Amino acid sequence: MASAGIRPGAAEERTLAQAFARREDWAFDEAYRRYGTLLYSVALNVLHNVQDAEDCVHDALVRVWRNPKTFAADRGSVRAFLTVVVRNDAISRLRASARRGRLAERLGREDEPAEEFEIDDFVQQRKLRAAIEELPQEQRQPVLLAYFGGKTHVEIAKELAEPLGTVKSRISLGLRKLGAALKEGRP
């Protein structure tokens, strides 16, 4: 276990973003030096397998770097951009292997009880928990199912028996509120 480290200054981050957008090799190296731990942790926290997490970070970063259109300098921070790219890739992998696993399970046993989804299993961090608890219930549930459950908004709408449009806007509102709450608490 390691800490995420000290956040570099905004100006420094902007320089990095510009160089990253121009595909200067040193920027890749620097981004990895700064955010490698974060990116690997993001992948591991979704996949729970060290080799899968490593493959995921590797493949996602290679894809980003080889496709110059993916990141423009005014696109925001490299840190947040890469975090989401890696996380999305990890979720895709998880979904693909869940599809395989579900099929294998169905073949092996038909009366498998549905898996219970326990928030407590995932959110141990006090500050995060507090911010999540501040969300209205109608937003909290779909945001948690999206972030920790790795579910698509279509699956969430089905699960909560709510219209797709309603679920979309609740997730959207919920995330913006959560993001703001976590920002406030920042030193």
Partner 1 sequence: MNEHVDDLAELYALGSLEDLDRARVERHTSSCAACAERVSEAEESVTRIAELQTMHEAPPGLRTRLHSSLALAHLRHAWVRSIPAAIAAALVLALIPTWVAVDRTRTVAAMHQDEQALAKIASAPFARAQFMSPRNAPMDAKVLYGMHGDWYYVVVMHPKPGMQVAYVHEGKMEMLGTVATHGASGTLYLPVNHKMEELALVSDGAVIGDAHLAY
| Tally: H helices and E strands in the chain | 9, 0
**By the rule CB under 8 A, 73 interacts with partner 1:** no
Q: Which of 44, 138, 159, 160 binds partner 1 (CB under 8 A)?
A: 44
Cβ pair 179, 139 in contact under 8 A: no
**By the rule CB under 8 A, 139 interacts with partner 1:** no
**By the rule CB under 8 A, 61 interacts with partner 1:** yes
Q: Which of 12, 24, 133, 134 binds partner 1 (CB under 8 A)?
A: 24
- Kind and range of the H or E run holding 180: helix 164-184
By residue count, the chain amounts to 187
**By the rule CB under 8 A, 84 interacts with partner 1:** yes
Sorted by sequence, the CB contacts under 8 Å of residue 42 that are 6+ apart come out as 83, 86, 87, 90
Q: How far is the CB of 75 from partner 1 (least distance, A)?
A: 5
Shorter beta-carbon distance to partner 1: residue 119 or 182: 182
Q: How far is the CB of 95 from partner 1 (least distance, A)?
A: 9
